[in-house]
Amino acid sequence: MTRFTKTLSRCVFATCLSVLAPALAAAPYCEALLDADALPEKYASLAPVYSSSDTGWIFAANQMRQSFALKDKPKAMMAEIVQGFEAKGVKLAILITPPRPVVAGQGILRKTMGAAAADYDAIATQASFQAMLAEYRGMGAIVPDLSVLALSDPQLRRRFYFRRDTHWTTVGAAHSAEALAQAVAAEAPKLRMAEGPAILGWKGKIEERGSLADLVRKSCDQKVPKETSNIAVLADVPGAGLLDDTKGPQIALVGTSFSDRYKRDHYRVADAMASAFGRSVVNHSISGGGLHRAMQSFLNSGGLDNQAYDLVIWEIPYTQNFNSTKRLGAVLKAMKAAQNG
């Protein structure tokens, strides 16, 4: 063997190691998670499900989208919805949770997904997500960028999302509520009455069994530990609990399981928002309602009647289809009925 071929062999071997290293780094809970046919029917649509017993992270296929580009028709429909709130004298804030893979970061993705992580660009995905938020701001909605919030501090980044559940933690929810209140105050100062910080400290924990952990338990026949998250000690809301608390316009939270988990506000979202705004927040969220059901129900039930609310917070997970004309159409139909009622 010549010196050249020896060198070439070493280079090829080194290259192979560098290619294989990410794949070897990922130790999935079981191989069945990567194959839709091997999963229980309930979970098949989520495959491939990437996981690592080393990092503890689990990512389902529906969380791996990289483009948030809006099409013209759904963009026009959302703009009409925003204008409908304005016509009723109500400010609309759209609170979109940031992509879990972006918050986890490329390093965690490599350790969890192995070679498949090369197909996901966290930086480009965040840029696309932020471009969508900018489009909604251009329509007149108040839209905080929770991806910037989540990445702003290493500790918050690690605690923003559960590793084995699709939802934010109580920590992520509390900080998101503060970021939302700050964004609203910047555009409509009168809507925020709180003068100090909402988060005063942390005491106690919640437990989360994890929807993604359940997937592993049922698909891999493995025991997966529950996770915990700290509970925020929140500033008091002036007038809360008093008989006259319901006088005057309030804030409506219209969201999904992020705000209505286990038939309650498991992540303390409404409480954190009430402290951040210094005002009452009424939770109209519907678990499993997706992009449209909670808002459709809110509008159909007279949510915009009698000036009951001056701020509506539309909480939407990043996994929703923002280009669904069917779902946006359902909201728009309810909005038009509310305007004509």
With 70 as the cut, is the pLDDT of residue 11 above it?
no
Token pair 């008989």 is found at 243
Q: To the nearest whole number, what is the mean pLDDT of the chain?
A: 92
Written as one letter, the residue type at 19 is V
> What does the pLDDT read at residue 241?
57
- The yes-or-no verdict on residue 5 having pLDDT over 90 is no
Interatomic CA distance for residues 291 and 95, integer angstroms: 12
pLDDT > 90? residue 237: yes
Is residue 234 within 8 A of residue 272, CB to CB? The reply is yes
Instruction: Read off the DSSP letter of residue 302.
Output: T
CA distance 249 to 310: 6
pLDDT tens, 87-112? 999 999 999 999 999 999 999 999 99
For residue range 139-176, list pLDDT tens digits in order.
999 999 999 999 999 999 999 999 999 999 999 999 99
pLDDT, tens digit, for every residue of 167-204?
A: 999 999 999 999 999 999 999 999 999 999 999 999 99
Q: Note whether 89 and 307 are within 8 A (CB).
A: yes
> What is the mean predicted confidence (pLDDT) over 9-34?
58
* Torsion of Cα atoms, 326 then 327 then 328 then 334, to 10°: 100
Give the pairing of strands 227-234 and 199-208: antiparallel
CB 285 within 8 A of CB 256: yes
247 falls in which pLDDT band (50, 70, 90)? Answer: low
In the predicted structure, residue 239 carries a pLDDT above the cut 90: no
Range with the lowest mean pLDDT among 12-21, 54-63, 79-88? 12-21
* pLDDT of 340: 87
Does the pLDDT value for residue 19 go beyond 60? no
Helix (H) or strand (E) holding 200: strand 199-208
What confidence tens digit (pLDDT) does each residue in 215-228 have? 999 999 999 999 99
* Model-wide pTM > 0.75: yes
pLDDT digits (tens, 9 = 90+) for 294-321: 999 999 999 999 899 999 999 999 999 9
> 122-138 and 72-87 are packed helices; what angle lies between their axes, rounded to 10 degrees?
40
pLDDT range class, residue 238, cuts 50, 70, 90 = confident
- Residue 113 token pair: 């997904």
